[in-house]
Amino acid sequence: MNDLDTFFAMGGYAAFVWPSFGFALVVLAGLWLHSRAAVRRAEARLARLEALGLGRGRRRRARAGAPSPTAHERHPHEDGAADDVARA
């Protein structure tokens, strides 16, 4: 029993250690709740977009029949030309 008391006393630093653990637990619980709420909001938004026909599948269907862009069309300024120089 004495070993357990010594452990919980943390060598005299228990007043600092245990509140730190409590604070960390509160922060982690808050992050978990915030993340869970964010996922639910994102899923609800995705469901609304898919109901409008603007979800994940639309992009794949639109690209299925479209020709593949060339490398220059995908990255037009890889040759080092700046946007303002290219427009001039």
| pLDDT tens per residue, range 7-40 | 989 989 999 999 999 999 999 999 999 999 999 9
Query: How many angstroms separate the CA atoms of 30 and 40, rounded?
Result: 15
> Do the domain assignments include residue 81?
no
> Do the domain assignments include residue 69?
no
Distances (CA, A) of 84 to 20, 71, 77, 81: 54, 21, 11, 8
Query: How many angstroms separate the CA atoms of 2 and 30, rounded?
Result: 35
Nearest CA to 46 out of 34, 57, 31 is that of 57
> Do the domain assignments include residue 80?
no
Q: Give the model's confidence band at 78: pLDDT under 50 very low, under 70 low, under 90 confident, else very high.
A: low
Coil/strand/helix, residue 32: helix
The whole-model pTM stands at 0.53
What is the predicted pLDDT for the residue at 43?
96
For residue 38, give its domain range.
15-58
> Do the domain assignments include residue 77?
no
> Do the domain assignments include residue 38?
yes
What is the predicted pLDDT for the residue at 14?
92
| Number of domains within the chain | 1
Beta carbons of 83 and 77 less than 8 angstroms apart: yes
> Do the domain assignments include residue 50?
yes
- One-letter amino acid of 13: Y
